[in-house]
Chain A
């Protein structure tokens, strides 16, 4: 059997042992979290303990955390639950932010994949209505870290609120809502070692938020529906594990840099997107000129190397990346870009397997072109 190198951590991370144990133990635990009886009270305690652990991840109070079914629901709750504001989103946001609010205005990005703060300032100044600005912590395709704190200062100066989709940054960057200046923060469990099917929205106490999913009044009336208790408990355990995990950033960065060095040595003309911007330690967006991304991922897949051609969404359709487009990358180049993303179990062997497979494909395509 082919050795497997999983290098698609920005799509989903394997569940960490702490979260796996907590989730599967909780699955055996009985009781609806809203019931009044004894087992229900045990469930409620477990729910509130998990809420504290997730709150601690962003330096928030437990009452400021709303559990959702994931990052997408949290994003749409943030952008639609804060009513009566004009919405501005950066051009590189995830689709669940870009498409959440109809009529959202777009803040452009630079060639390095960083939001254009001067443009944000101008857009806010041009219209006096109160606004909500949405800017992600780190981009899912390029890993480029966004100047959220600076954007928050600009937003607050213009009487606007700031929402930060921190799905890709959480667990990888220090994340404190005060330091970021974010009024709302989206989190997803399965990107940081928790189970799929659970996420959260941090909503600062001063922000009024109306429920989008109406129901039995759970989550203090801000999100109806029986809580996914095992998922939430696993999310709590994963959040706590982030704090305990010895900082892995240095090791992951070295591996990522090694991958980048190996691939650019194979193909010196390979563009690395966001290379000169601050990036997540784990992400590498790179292109093989003239070779479609779908060809590259297929070829890597056959060699046991799992990467992606962008975001893992919309039933696997490979579309041209709106992120690269916003960075001004030409369509032909954008169509040959792949995303390589690492995590805490990634190893040198994974990187070597990647380089071997990518190098073999490169050699084949050059030979057939010759």
Chain B
């Protein structure tokens, strides 16, 4: 019996339908197949250039670097491998601020809806004497370009605006922001962990200087990511830590060959299949939302309805606590917000920044669709949510 058949039949022990693709994605089987030999028979340290095992690992890492670079229109040597997007975001913001702070450039401009690790990195620099400007967003989750332009001054070192939001999927106008930053002579960093492989990203066309990528959000493995660092004009940053001097001294430490290989394969596949996959997910998303709205007219979508990731929905069910709704739908795996803050389950600061009152923010689910989401899974999930909400209504709760 296949897993999807088991789910469709709602067998009690079937795995829940996975609808949390913004938290993480399964490793694509094609990716896994490319990774496996690098765990076992080809185990060399990619920095051991004195022998054949090391050199074959290095060649594989460089091939992966090329594939990651190609997915964002960069050159391979502009890619610095990291342990993930969190490290890449830390490296971009702290690295840029620490290098330029002594030169009188000590201001950081970012947005209220950024990922926690961007906000925390900015906060850490505040403790080191930088000043941070947190821009608001409008009710749709978009940043206001005039406010951004007004926030940049001669002491601004870096502007950090994410490509796609991890909770509401909203796509920020990167090209416009990039043009503005280039014109004003400040570095433009974008956390593109949710965007790369899902929507087109081109660091040249968008004038991006620093860009963070995560492998496990695009069907690659956990534990690896990258920071794109522009060479012309050069984006100068300081490393977070020193050591063996790998990655052109920007990131020391042995590179994990199998993870880099998996990242490269995932980037290559995503690039080839993005258009088709995007169209398919967009259709599924629309079906999901119209299915909900048709039977529960009170639900509302958070974030811009069009300018968002094809696979993201963020839906408020007024009067229904999100945690209760999740508990009532054990057959589907969704989340209340970003996975990182989910453990503490506090009301989403992203939704609050959109102006959502706390009771509505607490009644909101993030629904993430992805590569393996099927029509029947969408139907099943809509049914499950609708009947859970109705049961709740009938019981007067």
What is the interface of chain A, defined by CB distance below 8 A to chain B?
Answer: 4, 6, 8, 11-15, 20, 23-24, 27-28, 30-32, 34-40, 68-73, 75-76, 80, 94-96, 99-100, 190, 195-198, 212-218, 224-231, 294, 297-298, 300-301, 304-309, 311-318
Task: Please pick, from B52, B58, B87, the residue contacting A225 in the complex, using a CB distance under 8 A.
Answer: B87
A14 and B43 within 8 A (CB): yes
B116 and A217 within 8 A (CB): yes
Task: Please pick, from A96, A212, A228, the residue contacting B223 in the complex, using a CB distance under 8 A.
Answer: A228
Q: How far is the CA of A73 from the CA of B221 in the complex (A)?
A: 19
B214: chain A residues at CB < 8 Å are 226
Most buried by B among A12, A226, A297: A226
Q: A36-B326, A313-B245 are in contact. List 13 more A-B contacts (CB 8 A).
A: A11-B44, A30-B26, A32-B24, A69-B84, A70-B254, A73-B241, A94-B243, A95-B243, A195-B258, A198-B223, A231-B259, A297-B50, A297-B51
Which B40-66 residues sit within 8 Å CB-CB of chain A?
Answer: 40, 43-45, 47-54, 58
A230 and B18 within 8 A (CB): no
Which B59-87 residues sit within 8 Å CB-CB of chain A?
Answer: 82-87
What is the interface of chain B, defined by CB distance below 8 A to chain A?
Answer: 15-16, 18, 20, 23-24, 26-27, 32, 35-36, 39-40, 43-45, 47-54, 58, 82-87, 89-90, 115-117, 120-121, 123-124, 214, 216, 221-224, 240-246, 248-249, 252-259, 326, 330, 333-336, 338-345
Given contacts A24-B32, A95-B252, contact A12 B221 (CB under 8 A): no
Given contacts A195-B39, A231-B256, contact A36 B343 (CB under 8 A): yes
B222 and A96 within 8 A (CB): no
Identify whether the interface residues of B are mostly helix, strand, loop, or mixed.
loop
B248: chain A residues at CB < 8 Å are 315
Given contacts A15-B39, A196-B254, A306-B52, contact A214 B243 (CB under 8 A): no
A99 and B242 within 8 A (CB): yes
A37 and B16 within 8 A (CB): yes
Q: How far is the CA of A167 from the CA of B121 in the complex (A)?
A: 29
A14: chain B residues at CB < 8 Å are 40, 43
Q: How far is the CA of A158 from the CA of B53 in the complex (A)?
A: 46
Given contacts A28-B27, A72-B241, contact A197 B259 (CB under 8 A): yes
A226: chain B residues at CB < 8 Å are 24, 84, 86, 214, 216, 222, 339-340
A27: chain B residues at CB < 8 Å are 27, 32, 35, 221
Given contacts A72-B244, A214-B120, contact A224 B86 (CB under 8 A): yes
Q: How far is the CA of A290 from the CA of B81 in the complex (A)?
A: 38
Task: Please pick, from A28, A39, A75, A297, the residue contacting B243 in the complex, using a CB distance under 8 A.
Answer: A75
B36 and A24 within 8 A (CB): yes
A307: chain B residues at CB < 8 Å are 50-51
Give the nearest-CB partner of B36 in chain A. A24
A-B contact pairs, 20 of them (CB 8 A): A12-B44, A14-B40, A24-B39, A30-B18, A32-B24, A36-B336, A37-B333, A39-B16, A40-B23, A69-B83, A72-B254, A94-B243, A190-B256, A196-B255, A196-B259, A197-B255, A213-B90, A213-B240, A225-B117, A315-B49
Task: Please pick, from A6, A72, A228, the residue contacting B222 in the complex, using a CB distance under 8 A.
Answer: A228
Cβ of B62 to closest chain A Cβ, rounded Å: 11
Give the nearest-CB partner of A17 in chain B. B40
B83: chain A residues at CB < 8 Å are 68-70, 73, 197, 225, 228
Identify whether the interface residues of A are mostly helix, strand, loop, or mixed.
loop
B338 and A216 within 8 A (CB): yes
Q: How far is the CA of A315 from the CA of B82 in the complex (A)?
A: 16
B32 and A28 within 8 A (CB): yes
A216 and B340 within 8 A (CB): yes
A35 and B342 within 8 A (CB): yes
Cβ of B33 to closest chain A Cβ, rounded Å: 11
Q: How far is the CA of A107 from the CA of B269 in the complex (A)?
A: 51
Given contacts A226-B222, A306-B53, contact A313 B244 (CB under 8 A): yes
Cβ of B317 to closest chain A Cβ, rounded Å: 17
Q: How far is the CA of A74 from the CA of B151 in the complex (A)?
A: 37
B242: chain A residues at CB < 8 Å are 76, 95-96, 99-100
Q: How far is the CA of A214 from the CA of B54 in the complex (A)?
A: 32
Task: Please pick, from B24, B216, B224, the residue contacting A197 in the complex, using a CB distance under 8 A.
Answer: B224
A34 and B339 within 8 A (CB): yes
Q: How far is the CA of A305 from the CA of B48 in the complex (A)?
A: 13
Q: How far is the CA of A274 from the CA of B244 in the complex (A)?
A: 23
B50 and A71 within 8 A (CB): no
Cβ of B128 to closest chain A Cβ, rounded Å: 12
Task: Please pick, from B35, B117, B223, B342, the residue contacting A36 in the complex, using a CB distance under 8 A.
Answer: B342
Q: How far is the CA of A315 from the CA of B124 in the complex (A)?
A: 31
B222 and A229 within 8 A (CB): yes
A215 and B90 within 8 A (CB): yes
Task: Please pick, from B50, B326, B330, B342, the residue contacting A301 in the complex, using a CB distance under 8 A.
Answer: B50
B339: chain A residues at CB < 8 Å are 32, 34-35, 40, 216, 226
Shortest beta-carbon contacts, A-B, top 10: A216-B340, A228-B223, A313-B244, A197-B256, A316-B49, A96-B243, A69-B83, A215-B117, A225-B86, A72-B253
Q: How far is the CA of A94 from the CA of B246 in the complex (A)?
A: 14
B35: chain A residues at CB < 8 Å are 27
Given contacts A226-B24, A229-B222, A301-B51, contact A311 B90 (CB under 8 A): no
A312 and B243 within 8 A (CB): no
Task: Please pick, from B50, B58, B82, the residue contacting A298 in the complex, using a CB distance under 8 A.
Answer: B50
Given contacts A12-B45, A308-B48, A313-B47, contact A34 B343 (CB under 8 A): yes
B20 and A12 within 8 A (CB): no
B338: chain A residues at CB < 8 Å are 216
A96: chain B residues at CB < 8 Å are 241-244, 252-253
B342: chain A residues at CB < 8 Å are 34-36, 40
Give the nearest-CB partner of A215 in chain B. B117
B253 and A314 within 8 A (CB): no
B245: chain A residues at CB < 8 Å are 95, 313-315, 317
A312 and B253 within 8 A (CB): no
A315: chain B residues at CB < 8 Å are 47, 49, 245-246, 248
Q: How far is the CA of A218 from the CA of B26 in the complex (A)?
A: 20
B241 and A32 within 8 A (CB): no
B51: chain A residues at CB < 8 Å are 8, 297, 300-301, 305-308
Given contacts A15-B43, A36-B342, A216-B339, contact A72 B52 (CB under 8 A): no
A12 and B254 within 8 A (CB): yes
A316: chain B residues at CB < 8 Å are 47-50, 54, 58
